[in-house]
Structure 1
Amino acid sequence: MATSSNSSQIPVCPRCGQAFCCQLTTQGSCVCSEITLSEQTLSDLRTHYEGCLCLKCLQEIARAYAVLLDT
């Protein structure tokens, strides 16, 4: 997972570059677990990005893949 340069290890989304709060480490589950992505989409993401993506990017990707599947 990419992190910002400060010592608090705030994750940075490798897709958009924005820092975000990953609740997996603090609360045991993260809101990103509520995003449903196909195994193929997850595989594509793992190929293109290292680490976690922020919720906004995951939502955008989920919508984009849903549109592709509907066409």
Structure 2
Amino acid sequence: MLMHSKHEIIRCERCNGAFECKANSFTKCDCAKVPLTLNETQYISEQYDGCLCNQCLLIIKQEYHVWLSQA
């Protein structure tokens, strides 16, 4: 069943999962709930150009810290 939304439904660039993008209302967007440091944001933006779902943001954030500990 499709639900009507006033926001765009997009696909996560990493997992291809669908989620509601609220880019026009960023503080209410789900991705704003994943706190990222400047370094984490830069790490993610070096790998992906588009939006990512919360689950992928959390996974990549964890990957960054693993990578950082091995560097």
2:17 partner amino acid = Q
Q: Matched residues in 1 for 2:39 and 2:25: separation?
A: 28
- Percentage of pairs with the same residue: 33
- Describe the SS at the equivalent of 1:21: strand
Query: RMSD between aligned alpha carbons?
Result: 2.6
More helix by share: 2
- Describe the SS at the equivalent of 1:40: helix
CA gap of 1:12–1:70, structure 2 versus 1, over 3 A, is: same
Indicate the residue corresponding to 2:32 in structure 1. Answer: 33
Please say if residues 14 and 56 of structure 2, whose CA atoms lie closer than 8 Å, have aligned partners that are also in contact. Answer: yes
CA gap of 1:21–1:38, structure 2 versus 1, over 3 A, is: same
Q: What residue ranges of structure 2 are gaps of 5+ in the alignment?
A: 1-7
Indicate the residue corresponding to 1:45 in structure 2. Answer: 44
**CA offsets, 1:3-54, max 9 Å, x none?**
xxxxxx6311111111111234468621211211121111111111011101
Q: Matched residues in 2 for 1:51 and 1:44: separation?
A: 13
TM-score (structure 2 length as normaliser): 0.62
Count of aligned positions: 64
More strand by share: 2
Indicate the residue corresponding to 2:61 in structure 1. Answer: 62
Q: What residue ranges of structure 1 are gaps of 5+ in the alignment?
A: 1-8
TM-score (structure 1 length as normaliser): 0.62
